[in-house]
């Protein structure tokens, strides 16, 4: 099967959709499929999936504010003809976030069999946008539709037909490292954006340190100008370093405030066997399915209390870690690749 994998976001910047699409393309190649990858930007981020030989860059990216975050997309029409030509040589197109310009629109402009996957927790006004875009609406009715979670599927119109839920995935075994856990280490992974909730965790940190004086916080993905006692800010880290730090942490905190449709960082922490403390966002509750401790989003005191309880009770932390690993097995790549290949076959039929 020759698959056109289409990612609307800048492949030079790490992100959930970029990670999912790149790793999916790599796993499809491993099972014998051919892949052409179309992505905004020009080159893959450092430590990316190694798809340079099959990647067609779709133009320079710009940053657009969206969904309480910043979306790195391309609005350059210069490569439209080249991208369209590459997609016409495929059997089936898999477009992620198809309504994101311009890369998603390039894919929608073809008549190829298509799987369209929605990732975002869309704002409520988006369902009105779908109704006001009749051309896109007709294209969606001919596509096979999937979403990474029930939260991501929420705004999709009923008359598009069945929506298959196929979750994001990780290489679960690669997170099971023989690294000794540091008893009172807490990990956070995420960009320094308000919706990721790092400020809530930092507000809770003095309360945590007061109760557990030797608690350590490792922050991956974000920097901090001012020093915070007991905290290390590492900025962006490699995939290997991320796995090592998660495997050495007793607890993982996901204090996100909203705008999350899945929570791949929660799955990564579960795969590493961390005791997970997460906001009670619907997407996080769905992903953890009882294997995490949930607290009200934005509640500093509740977050601090939950972290302290886990750090003080080694047996409870171990139980949560075992439950995390069992739950993470549901998001392993072989199952997810097989699910997407079934959708490709359905689109072709």
Torsion over CA: 176, 180, 184, 187 (sign):
negative
Paired tokens of 90: 């495929």
Give percent of the chain with pLDDT exceeding 70: 91
Paired tokens of 71: 């979306």
Torsion over CA: 98, 268, 262, 185 (sign):
negative
State the maximum Cα–Cα separation within the chain, in Å, rounded to a whole number. 61
Paired tokens of 119: 């990732």
Helix 239-247 crosses helix 264-271 at what angle (to 10 degrees)?
A: 60
**Could you tell me the pLDDT band of residue 63, with boundaries at 50, 70 and 90?**
low
Cα gap 16→20, rounded to integer Å: 6
**Could you tell me the pLDDT band of residue 133, with boundaries at 50, 70 and 90?**
low
Q: What is the pLDDT of residues 304-329, one digit of tens each?
A: 999 999 999 999 999 999 999 999 99
**Could you tell me the pLDDT band of residue 61, with boundaries at 50, 70 and 90?**
low
Cα gap 185→175, rounded to integer Å: 17
Record the pTM. Answer: 0.85
pLDDT at 75 over 70: no
- Any idea what DSSP says for residue 332? B
C-alpha distances in angstroms, 37 versus 27, 74, 89, 263?
13, 15, 12, 24
**Could you tell me the pLDDT band of residue 331, with boundaries at 50, 70 and 90?**
very high
Which of 94-98, 220-224, 267-271, 335-339 has the least mean pLDDT? 220-224
Backbone angles phi and psi of 158, in degrees to 5: -60, -35
Per-residue pLDDT, 109: 85
Q: Is 185 helix (H, G, I), strand (E, B) or coil?
A: strand
Cβ–Cβ < 8 Å for 172, 336 = no
Instruction: Using the CB atoms, write b or e for 220-246: b if 16+ within 10 Å.
Output: bbbeeeeeeebbebeebbebeebbbbb
Mean pLDDT of the residues in the chain: 89
Paired tokens of 53: 């030989």
């Amino acid at each position: 099967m020759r698959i056109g994998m289409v990612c609307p976001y800048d492949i030079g910047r790490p992100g959930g959709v970029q990670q999912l699409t790149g790793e999916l393309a790599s796993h499809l190649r491993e099972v014998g499929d051919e892949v052409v990858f179309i992505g905004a930007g020009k080159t893959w981020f450092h430590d990316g999936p190694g798809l340079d030989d099959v990647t067609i860059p779709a133009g320079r990216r710009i940053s657009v504010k969206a969904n309480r975050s910043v979306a790195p997309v391309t609005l350059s029409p210069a490569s439209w003809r080249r991208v369209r030509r590459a997609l016409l040589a495929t059997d089936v197109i898999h477009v992620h976030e198809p309504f994101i310009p311009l890369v998603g629109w390039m894919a929608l402009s073809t008549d190829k069999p298509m799987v369209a996957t929605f990732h975002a927790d869309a704002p409520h006004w988006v369902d009105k946008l779908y109704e006001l875009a009749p051309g896109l609406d007709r294209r969606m009715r001919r596509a096979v539709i999937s979403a990474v979670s029930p939260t991501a599927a929420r705004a999709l119109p009923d008359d598009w037909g069945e929506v298959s839920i196929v979750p994001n995935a990780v290489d679960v075994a690669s997170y099971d490292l023989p690294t000794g856990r540091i008893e009172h280490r807490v990990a956070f992974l995420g960009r320094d954006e308000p919706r990721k909730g790092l400020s809530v965790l930092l507000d809770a940190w003095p309360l945590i340190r007061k109760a557990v004086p030797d608690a350590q916080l490792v922050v991956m993905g974000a920097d901090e100008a001012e020093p915070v006692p007991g905290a290390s800010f590492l900025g962006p880290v490699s995939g290997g370093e991320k796995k090592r730090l998660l495997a050495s942490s007793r607890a993982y905190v996901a204090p996100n405030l909203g705008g999350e449709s899945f929570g791949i960082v929660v799955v990564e922490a579960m795969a590493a066997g961390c005791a997970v403390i997460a906001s009670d966002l619907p997407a996080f509750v769905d992903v953890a399915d009882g294997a995490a401790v949930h607290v009200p989003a934005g509640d500093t005191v509740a977050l601090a209390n939950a972290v302290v309880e886990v750090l003080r009770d080694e047996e409870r932390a171990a139980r949560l870690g075992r439950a995390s690993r069992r739950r993470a097995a549901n998001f392993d790549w072989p199952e997810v690749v097989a699910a997407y290949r079934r959708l490709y076959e359905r689109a072709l039929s």
